[in-house]
Structure formats: C-alpha cells, structure tokens
C-alpha cells in the first residue's frame, strides 16, 4: 500500500497554502542568492533578529529549521552519522550534528535546492549554551564573519536595566556594524520601526490564535498544529507584510472554527471528540512527527497550549515588539524567549497554563538533545503537579535522532497517563 | 597544618571529600562568617573574601555518596554532577551554606540555579551571569554590575560591605595563591615524579574548602615536603596533558589509574578555579574594575567561553608545548556539552600540530577503570615506543 493510500487527504486552509508559498519563495530566493547577489545570515530561532536582518536586506537562514526539515524528510539519521564519524559525540545535540551532516552532504535545503554559504553568522546566544558551540563549529567550516550577541539569562526572573543595556550596547557596537559591513547598507532605523510595527500586528493575531485553545473544544492543537502556526513568525518572516497577512488569515480561520464549535484538524482529519485537554512542555520529536501526533489524536487528546510555541518568543504575557523603542524592544524580546527563563518562571507559566486552559494535566516530552529544556524538567513536573493537583505525564524522545524514538514505549506511557486522568475524573 | 607529607595528604583528602561539610560548619562556628557555595568553574572569590565570606567549591560528591534522590531529578542523559549536588542538598549536607552561586557555564548548571531557588527559597541562590562580550565598555560594564549585585546580596545576608581597601587586600592574597599554584604546576612539569597528580589534585581540591590563607600554608608545606623527598625517582612514563575535566571531576581512582598505566600528567583542567585568572591582578586603581578586567582579558581559553577572535585549539596546543607533554588525553564527563562540543575542534588543532591523542569519558562516580587503564597504558606505550 502506498503512503498516499494510507493517509487521508490533508485538509489545507488558505493560511496553510499562504505559508507554503512564503516558505517556497524564501528558499527559492536563497537558492538563487549566489546569482542574484542577495546576502544571507545564518542565525537561530530563539532571540532571532529577523527585523534587523531584513532592514539590511539580509535573508535569514535557520540551521535548526534545516535540521528539523531534514528529519521530517528522513535524512537526519544519515546526517547525524556523518557528524559522528567526524568525531562528534553521541551525547550532544542532534540538531548540531544533523546540520553539520547536511552541510557536508552539499547543504541541500528542504526544497531540494542547495542553500548558499553564509555571508554572516549571527550568533544570537539566547537561552541555549549549545548555540555558541554550534556557531564556533560552523565558523571553522565557513569563511564568514561572526556577529556575537550574548543575551543574558533571566536568572532572577526579571530583566534589569543592566541586562537591557548590555544587549543594546552589543547591538550598537557589534551586531549592527557587522551587518552594515556585510550588506553594504547603513542602519536605517525608520525601516526597522516599520518592520517592528508589522511584527506587533502579527503578534496580536498569533496570540489570539494560540489563546483560542482556551475554548472547549479547542479549535487548535497548540503543539503539533502549533508548530505550523509559529513557523512564519519564529523564522524568516517576522516584520514582513507576508507575516501580517498570514496571521490575519489564520486568525480568521480559527475564529470561524470557534464559532462553529469545531475541534482541531489533525493528520487524520478533523478531531470529532475532545477527550483530554493537555499542556505540553518541550519540543516535539521530528523524526516520527505524524506517528507521534497520531498517538494523541487517536486518544482524543488535544494539546491546548505548549511551551514549545514560546521558544521563539513569549507573546501571551503581553510583550510586543515596540517601534518606539526599537533596539530596547529587540533586547527584551531576546531575553524573554522561553528557554531564557529561569525554572521558577517556567513553573509559574506552566501551572498557569494548566489552570487558564482548563487542562487535565501537564505532559513533558523530554528531549535527549536539549539540556536547555530538559535539565530540571522532572522537578518542573512535580512542582506543577503540586500546584495544580493535576497528574503529570513524562515521555522521552529526541529532536532529530531516530535512534531515540521508541514508539511502543511512548505509546504505553501516554495510554497509562490518559487512563490515570480518566480514573481521577471518575473519582 | 602538618608538615609531614602523609599526614598532610590525609588532611587534604579529608577536606577534599568532606561531603558532610564538617569543615565549613566548624569554620562558621568559629568565625561567625557566611559560607557561600559555588559550582564550577569560576567565581571571583576575591570579592567574597573581601566581604568576610568563605567561598566553598561545590564540586559534587564524586564516588563518595550513593545517589538515591538526586537521580529522581534528572534523566539518564544528563551529566552526573548536578545529581550529586541535589543529593547533597536534599540530605542536608549543604544546609550550612548561606548562599549558592551558579556560574554561567552550561545549560545544566544554569537550570540547577532555578532548581535551587525552588529547593531552598530561604537561601541566596544566584545565577552568576558572565559576559561573552569582552569589551570593557560593554561586557565589562555588565559584569561589574553583576558583581555589584552579588556584593549587595551578600550584605543583605549579613556580610560586611565591600570596600576598595578590603578588596585590594583580598586580590593581594589571591595573587599569592595563584603564584603558589603555578609554582606547584611548574614543579610537576619539571619533575612529575615528585608531584603525582593524584596528590596535587587532593591539595588543590582541599583549596576550594579552606580559607585561602590556610591553603597557602598547605601548598607551601606540600611543596617543601616533596622537594625534600629524595625517595621519589623518575620513571619511564609518558608525559600527557589531561583536558576536558573542568567541571565534573573524575574520581581520584581514575587519576591514579592514569598514573599507574604509565602516564605523567604534566598539565590538566582539574580544579580550574585556582588557575582561571592567568596572572596577578593589579591592586592599584579601582580594584573591582581590575577584577572585571582580569576576567575579560586574562583567563584561560575554556570551552565555556566564546573565543571571539581567537583560534580554536590554539591555546591547547600551546599548553602541550609549554608543558612539554608528549600526548593529550581528552577526558570529559559523559554528557558534558561544553567539553564534548568543543572536542572535535580541539582535535583538529591538535592533529594539525602532530600531537598524539586519545579520548575517553567518565562520570564522577565511575568505579571501573580497567578499560581506561588499558587504553591509557597502550597510549603511553605507543608514545614511548614510536613518538
């Protein structure tokens, strides 16, 4: 039986088609960049400076996204093996190894076209120590300048004036001068402000979409579906008119689902009965993304909100990019990303999610590759359970290493957890 | 402080593995001062000292404590150090610490800072963020502010306020400490048979517990004793540099195993807090600025530190040359992101320089050394036979 025969036709909304078109155009521009002369910058999702890059007409390339796309195309096993043969440890982040393996295999992107070499490595060191090592590794491979932005951690759960000044000073003295040099253009604050205005508009719509999960039934799955919703704003499109249009269309579609009382769309079609409402902490597994999603949808489990959809920016706390304070606002954005929050802040946020979204409990998908997320998650689980009185679930997998996805194990654990929730309901 | 070598080493070992914090409790009772624990790698101990606090290195329990509750806090793929720190905390062994500092070296230690806040909400628990931008006007200002905040936190706990005079005096005494540590390292490089690394390790590890003044005495006594010991004769061992063990520490048995397998360790990354700042810090001018400037521009090239315009692996190659090592042992803890992500880049530089190397992993509670002994022994033999 072919894969197409096994999988029902996927429902595509106009927003999905729009996103697909945006991504295709972006990758085509990147592929043609060596001919057109357009410059690019490799950078990361958390703490990305997309508006600033685009104000210099630099196209963002996100190695994390390339890694997860490689994984969804079934290429990550091969790429990781290449990196490990080169001496990279089995113990470390598989995004790094997948990216390195992809580069060594010709740097072919998700559309099947070769990605350009970086003109700039913008190391936004936000919420993840591995980012720093990742770009040190890439720096050895490419002849490209590096702009390092060190984003301080919210160790005490607050952003101080000193932290903000530190980031803004780096933007002014390190990052912007390198961007000017690479792009051959001067810093244009008015242009940046225009982009930040568009960012804030798209962020309003994104928050409305993500908070629609508070409805019963939830019209969205805020984890598996959520990764598509965050795609444009977390990657290359924040600050663009395309992003504004996308989020406007998406919000309108979700509003309509709420009006009609519809549940989320899953790979198997529309979910008819919402049996469990859950909050998920941690990134998804990408190697078996659909199989993983199906384990939830088969049980009638809907993820009503998740922390992963905050990894490229926390907006549901009211933060918006502010055109009146462009660099300060970018600094606050970077410092506010989810993995840059201290554990007590993460516990507060997740416990509040369980209450605000009327969820049955918190599930943690603990990722082997990602210490930034994973170190301390067992304590997070206990604290959230204690505060909410709702049972917690815990599963383990990896980002892009298929060796660390044990379907039977995860399914067993999920089924047991759902049974526990049901038993509590039944008294 | 004893001058007899065996008694001295016994004292050092008791301090090094004082998992019940007996010494710290006694010190507090005697002085009424505050004890501030810190995780690897580096904190500016001069500042704590100047405010009358005892800086106490919390390097984990090694293989001296069975981890029961700590394992319930971490998945199998997280390194071992934080489990034993949690175990020490949950069993009350760190209750005598008035505060804990968690330097910015990796995501695991970073997140542990938040866990500690939840575990001990009544105590000071501070993430010590350090700049990866080394411009004095940018990273320097940020770091100075971090130190000022730390100092203010200590005052809130009851420490005396920081004064320039006290800080200068503390910098002075730690400068002497740096010189003394360097002297021992030089002696080991010149005559490694006189300074076995298993002994030096104990002496240095005792130094994260003892007040600096007492540790200076201990080092002086040790150096005098080994210099005077004529029974220690050179053996036909391979000179190696041990790298990668800058945070979680290998068990003492592993260091002994390497020596027994035919290696003289002539340089290492162990207990790096003593050697993080390379030279003496000036005492004239603003002492806090001097402390900041030393951090920005006069430290070792750690994998936890962005190398900016530097060349990856260049410092390691230079250390091999300076210590006249014949080979390199990459000896990192399992699941240590900084060490393991750095290693392939370091290997590239090391191979380019024609330096023989081998690598293995450990945990602080590793108990079986046979495989490592065979590997290190074969490596040492290959150096002696063919290099």
Residue A351 CA to residue B167 CA, distance in Å, equals 44
φ and ψ of A157, to 5 deg:
80, 15
Domain count of the fold of chain A: 1
Please check whether residue A406 lies inside any domain of the structure.
no
Please check whether residue A261 lies inside any domain of the structure.
no
First to last CA, chain B: 43
CB within 8 Å of chain B, chain A residues 130-169: 130, 132-134, 136-137, 139-140, 148, 150, 152-153, 155-156, 160, 162-163, 165-166, 169
**A398 Cβ under 8 Å from any chain B Cβ:** no
Q: Dmax of chain A from CA atoms? A: 68
CATH number at residue A158: 3.40.50.11890
Question: What is B231-386's CATH topology?
Answer: Rossmann fold (3.40.50)
- SS3 of residue B21 by DSSP: coil
Residue B304 has which token pair? 């936890």
- Confidence at A3, pLDDT banded by 50, 70, 90: very low
Residue A362 CA to residue A376 CA, distance in Å, equals 15
**A51 Cβ under 8 Å from any chain B Cβ:** no
Residue B44 CA to residue B50 CA, distance in Å, equals 10
DSSP A27-83: HHHHHHHHHH--EEEE--STT--HHHHHHTTEEEE-HHHHHHHHHHTT-HHHHHHHH
Position A126 pLDDT exceeds 80? yes
Mean pLDDT of A360-369: 97
Query: What domain range includes position A62?
Result: 10-187
- Confidence at A27, pLDDT banded by 50, 70, 90: very high
Flag if B107 and A136 touch (Cβ within 8 Å).
Answer: no
B209-249: per-residue pLDDT in tens?
Answer: 999 999 999 999 999 999 999 999 999 999 999 999 999 99
Which of these, A127, A129, A128, A137, lies nearest to A99 by C-alpha position? A137
Residue extents of the structural domains in chain B: 5-165, 231-386
A55-73: per-residue pLDDT in tens?
Answer: 999 999 999 999 999 999 9
Residue B110 CA to residue A125 CA, distance in Å, equals 14
Please check whether residue A199 lies inside any domain of the structure.
no
**B170 Cβ under 8 Å from any chain A Cβ:** no
- Percent of chain B topping pLDDT 90: 97
Angle B130-B136-B141 from CA coordinates, rounded to 5°: 60
Strand order across the beta sheet in which A39-42 lies: A58-61, A39-42, A120-125, A146-150
Residue B11 CA to residue A247 CA, distance in Å, equals 67
In this complex, which of A92, A152, A163 lies closest to B340 when CB atoms are compared?
A92
Please check whether residue A281 lies inside any domain of the structure.
no
- SS3 of residue A233 by DSSP: helix
Q: Which of A138, A150, A163 to mutate against chain B (most B CBs within 10 Å)?
A: A150
A145-180: per-residue pLDDT in tens?
Answer: 999 999 999 999 999 999 999 999 999 999 999 999
Residue B201 CA to residue B220 CA, distance in Å, equals 15
Q: What is the CATH number of domain B5-165?
A: 3.40.50.11890
- Confidence at A7, pLDDT banded by 50, 70, 90: very low
Q: HSE of B319 in the Cβ direction (CA atoms, 13 Å)?
A: 24
B84-123: per-residue pLDDT in tens?
Answer: 999 999 999 999 999 999 999 999 999 999 999 999 999 9
Residue B152 CA to residue A319 CA, distance in Å, equals 30
- Confidence at B2, pLDDT banded by 50, 70, 90: low
Residue B303 CA to residue B310 CA, distance in Å, equals 12
Q: How far are the Cα atoms of B3, B28, B60, B125, B164 from residue B51, in angstroms, in the given order?
A: 30, 14, 25, 17, 11
Please check whether residue A96 lies inside any domain of the structure.
yes
Flag if A342 and B77 touch (Cβ within 8 Å).
Answer: no
């Amino acid at each position: 039986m072919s894969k197409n025969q096994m999988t029902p036709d996927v429902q595509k909304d106009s927003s999905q088609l729009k996103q697909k078109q945006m991504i295709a155009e972006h990758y085509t521009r990147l592929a043609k960049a060596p001919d057109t002369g357009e410059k690019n910058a490799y950078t990361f999702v958390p703490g990305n400076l997309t508006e600033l890059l685009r104000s210099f007409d630099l196209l963002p390339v996100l190695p994390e996204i390339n890694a997860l796309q490689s994984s969804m195309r079934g290429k990550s096993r091969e790429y990781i093996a290449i990196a490990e043969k080169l001496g990279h440890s089995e113990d470390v982040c598989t995004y790094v190894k997948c990216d390195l393996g992809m580069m060594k295999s010709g740097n072919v992107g998700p559309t099947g076209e070769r990605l350009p070499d970086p003109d700039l490595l913008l190391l936004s060191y936000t919420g993840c120590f591995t980012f720093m090592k990742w770009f040190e590794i890439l720096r050895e491979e490419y002849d490209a300048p590096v702009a390092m932005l060190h984003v301080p951690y919210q160790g005490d759960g607050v952003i101080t004036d000193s932290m903000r000044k530190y980031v803004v000073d780096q933007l002014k003295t390190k990052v912007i001068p390198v961007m000017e040099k690479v792009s051959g253009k001067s810093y244009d604050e008015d242009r940046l402000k225009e982009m930040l205005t568009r960012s804030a508009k798209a962020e309003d719509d994104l928050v409305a979409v993500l908070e629609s999960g508070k409805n019963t039934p939830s019209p969205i799955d805020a984890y598996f579906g959520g990764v598509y919703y965050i795609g444009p704003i977390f990657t290359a499109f924040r600050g663009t008119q395309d992003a504004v249009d996308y989020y406007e269309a998406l919000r309108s579609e979700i509003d309509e689902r709420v009006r009609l009382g519809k549940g989320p769309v899953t790979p198997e079609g529309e979910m008819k009965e919402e049996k469990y409402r859950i909050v998920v902490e941690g990134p998804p597994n990408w190697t078996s993304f659909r199989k993983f999603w199906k384990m939830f949808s088969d049980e009638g489990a809907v993820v009503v909100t998740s922390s992963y959809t905050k990894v490229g920016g926390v907006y549901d706390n009211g933060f918006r990019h502010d055109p009146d304070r462009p660099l300060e606002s970018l600094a606050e954005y970077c410092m506010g990303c989810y993995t840059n929050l201290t554990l007590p802040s993460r516990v507060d946020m997740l416990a509040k999610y369980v209450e605000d979204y009327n969820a049955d409990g918190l599930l943690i998908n603990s990722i082997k590759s990602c210490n930034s997320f994973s170190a301390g998650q067992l304590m997070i689980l206990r604290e959230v359970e204690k505060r909410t009185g709702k049972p917690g679930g815990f599963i383990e997998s990896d980002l892009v290493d298929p060796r660390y996805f044990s379907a039977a194990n995860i399914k067993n654990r999920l089924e047991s957890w759902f049974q526990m929730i049901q038993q509590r309901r039944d008294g | 402080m004893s001058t007899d070598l065996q008694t001295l080493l016994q004292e050092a070992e008791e301090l090094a593995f004082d998992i019940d914090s007996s010494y710290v409790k006694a010190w507090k009772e005697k002085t009424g001062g505050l004890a501030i624990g810190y995780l690897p790698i580096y904190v500016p101990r001069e500042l704590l000292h100047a405010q009358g606090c005892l800086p106490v290195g919390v390097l984990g329990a090694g293989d001296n404590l069975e981890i029961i509750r700590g394992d319930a806090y971490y998945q199998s793929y997280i390194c071992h150090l934080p489990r034993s720190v949690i175990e020490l905390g949950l069993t009350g062994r760190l209750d005598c610490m008035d505060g804990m500092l968690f330097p910015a070296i990796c995501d695991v230690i970073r997140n542990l800072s938040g866990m500690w806040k939840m575990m001990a909400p009544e105590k000071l628990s501070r993430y010590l963020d350090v700049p990866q931008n080394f411009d004095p006007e940018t990273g320097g200002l940020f770091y100075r502010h971090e130190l000022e905040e730390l100092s203010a936190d200590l005052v809130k706990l009851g420490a005396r306020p920081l004064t320039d005079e006290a800080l200068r005096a503390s910098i002075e005494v730690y400068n002497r400490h740096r010189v003394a540590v360097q002297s021992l390292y030089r002696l080991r490089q010149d005559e490694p048979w006189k300074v076995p690394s298993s002994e030096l390790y104990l002496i240095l590890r005792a130094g994260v517990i003892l007040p600096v003044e007492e540790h200076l005495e201990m080092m002086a006594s040790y150096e005098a004793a080994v210099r005077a010991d004529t029974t220690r004769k050179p053996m036909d061992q391979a000179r190696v540099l041990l790298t990668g063990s800058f945070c979680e520490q290998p068990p003492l048995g592993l260091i002994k195993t390497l020596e027994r397998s035919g290696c003289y360790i002539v340089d290492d990354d162990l207990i790096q807090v003593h050697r993080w700042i390379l030279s003496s810090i000036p005492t004239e001018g603003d002492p806090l600025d001097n402390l900041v400037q030393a951090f920005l521009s006069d430290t070792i090239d750690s994998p936890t530190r962005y190398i900016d315009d530097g060349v990856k692996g260049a410092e390691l190659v230079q250390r091999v040359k300076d210590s006249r090592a014949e080979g390199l042992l990459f000896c990192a803890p399992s699941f240590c992101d900084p060490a393991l992500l750095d290693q392939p880049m370091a290997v590239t530089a090391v191979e380019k320089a024609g330096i023989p190397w081998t690598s293995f992993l450990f945990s602080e509670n590793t108990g079986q050394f046979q495989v490592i002994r065979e590997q290190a022994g074969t490596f040492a033999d290959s150096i002696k036979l063919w290099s």
